[in-house]
Chain A
Amino acid sequence: MNSTVLLFLALYFIGMLAVGVISMRRGGSSSMEGYYLSGRNVGPLVTAMTMQSTSMSGYMFLGAGSLGYTQGYYGFWYAAGDIGGGVVNLSVLGRRMRKLSQIMGALTSIEYLEKRYPSKWVRLIAAVLSVSLLGAYVLAQFIAGGKGLELVTGLPYEVALAIAVSVILAYTLMGGYGAVAYTDLLQSFVMIIGIVWILVATLQEVGGLTAANHAIASIDPTLLSIWGKDLVHEGQWGIVLGALLIFSIGYMGWPHVVTRHMAMRNPFHARRAGVYSTLWNLVFVSAPYILGTLAILVLPDLDDPEQAIFALAQNLLPAAVVGIVMAAIMAAIMSTADSILLQTGSIAARDLYERFVNPDMEEKQMVRVSQLIVLLLGIACGIVAAFEPPAIFSIVVFTTSVLGSAFLPAYVAAVWWRKANTPGALASMIVGSLVAFFWQYLALDGVTGLHPMLAGVVLSSLAMVVASLLTQASHPVSEHILKAMEETAELRPLPRPLKAQQSFEMAHEALTLKLSERTA
């Protein structure tokens, strides 16, 4: 246990807790909009950084490095889509989703779906899918966090897990979305400093990129190919283009990522946030795959390829810097875990408990209930994580594909297609989740050469279009929703009548009353 490394980790944890306290003092837990969306007051840099650090988990330090180490430059196919994921999300959804979510008064990305596609079934299906899959994802991130801390400190896994979970829970409970977003900002800086430091040290060690690539070629030239070691992936265009496409558009289907649009201070911040996302991704997404490949030269006999980047840091960097790198690895894990924990707890509280069990709570009570549910969820996941159930990772494999396939058409059509209606949304969610699940479960990607999420997104989009068009007459999109969508196209401040959340809800209630009077 190196004391310098421990010192940096301790400083990092204290920093995160301090942000939690500051967020709480700034009203992070005094109102629902404050707790769920930081009062819709997040600037472009924080928006971009919370989006990116939430999206990029510990996988970037572990899995990405491992893929580069074992398959060489083939790993870059997986970076290729990721680099653009943030700017695609912000350019397609950003401004309009921010505006529409405010007009509709939605506080979670699931509530947003029900308000755009009015039906309790939309809310129920979306909430249950999200809570169960994201809950498993939280569990997996907690396990990664515990293992990461165990690795760097030598503490027993259970103790390391307890520390990591306690820190995450503390600042998330105190400051809600504000704490999560601002800790994500700091964590994104730590992540990029850590990865750049290792990259520079490694390039110096191997004598520059060109010399390194010549050396790798003399070991095994297929490692420089786009098809992997021994060209084992040659011709698998469906898989690699699927990965490229999916990782560039897939983030638009993740409820915990698209929430970031809803919390922006101003819809036009999407523009600058897009630039920050691309700049950060160019470095942070590319580096781990390249580092994994370069590690072949520096550490040719590694037992566990997932240790490639960590081992590079230990071998090449002074102890103080290794501490920063360890903090960066923890930052990558925690910045994903906190966002998903808060989102899962918020969805459970707002979209399940308040919506279906106890709708008449007062605002302050609702905040406390949300905090309680986040706490209980965090503790439950922490306890289960202590047992490291192996099944958890098989569930997580489904998470990204199923969520993305279920929700991507719904979120995109919500702001871009006036004919997208409730039956269309229901059809796309059900088709998308089932297709992605069974494609993965039955390993159909091996048979068809198509990525599960690619199949899921294509078929769920088709379902959205077909079902919406077939039911336009029986389930037209309501007038007040169409007006709200028109307003999102405008490049102006919200008109006074649309600013208040109540006007949207009353418009919908009035419509429901009118329809029931007609049929009575």
Chain B
Amino acid sequence: MFGLPVSTTWLVIGVPVFWVLYTLGFLWVTRGWPGIKRSESGR
């Protein structure tokens, strides 16, 4: 991809993809967190 060797492609594309998936995973795991308005009084 992009004229890069396979291992370099894994590094340059694969790692960012991993972090995107991690972030999405974080969003999914925390989907039960209350909305900000409901919790605003909780300072």
Contacts and interface: CB of A to CB of B under 8 A. Distances in A.
Interface in A228-286: 244, 265-269, 271, 274-275, 278, 281-282, 286
Given A266-B39, A271-B26, A275-B23, A73 B3 contact: no
A76 interface: yes
Contacts of A492: 34, 39, 42
Interface residues of A, number: 42
A368 B22 CA distance: 43
A213 B13 CA distance: 15
Nearest to A216: B3
A491 B34 contact: yes
Interface in B1-43: 2-5, 7-8, 11-12, 15-16, 18-20, 22-23, 26-27, 30, 32-34, 36, 39-43
Given A266-B40, A493-B42, A494-B42, A224 B5 contact: yes
A37 to B, nearest CB: 12
B22 A226 contact: no
Counting chain B CB atoms within 10 Å of each CB, the highest count among A226, A265, A269 belongs to A226
A87 B42 contact: no
Contacts of A211: 3
Contacts of B18: 84
A286 B42 contact: no
A217 interface: yes
A40 interface: yes
Contacts of A494: 42-43
A83 B43 contact: no
Nearest to B25: A91
Given A209-B2, A213-B3, A271 B8 contact: no
Given A214-B3, A266-B43, A286 B34 contact: no
Nearest to A264: B43
Contacts of B4: 73, 213, 224
Contacts of A87: 19, 22-23, 26
Given A84-B22, A213-B3, A493 B41 contact: yes
A286 B19 contact: no
Interface in A57-108: 73, 76-77, 79-80, 83-84, 87-88, 90-91, 95, 102
A282 B16 contact: yes
B12 A76 contact: yes
A76 B8 CA distance: 9
Contacts of B32: 491
A210 interface: yes
A225 interface: yes
B5 A225 contact: yes
Nearest to A221: B5
B2 A226 contact: no
B8 A268 contact: no
Contacts of A275: 23, 27
Nearest to A499: B43
A494 B42 CA distance: 5
Contacts of B41: 493
Interface of A: 40, 73, 76-77, 79-80, 83-84, 87-88, 90-91, 95, 102, 209-214, 217, 224-226, 244, 265-269, 271, 274-275, 278, 281-282, 286, 491-494, 499
Given A491-B39, A493-B39, 6 more contacts: A84-B22, A211-B3, A224-B8, A225-B8, A226-B11, A492-B34
16 contacts: A73-B12, A76-B12, A80-B11, A90-B26, A102-B43, A209-B3, A210-B3, A212-B3, A225-B8, A266-B36, A268-B36, A271-B27, A274-B26, A282-B16, A286-B16, A494-B42
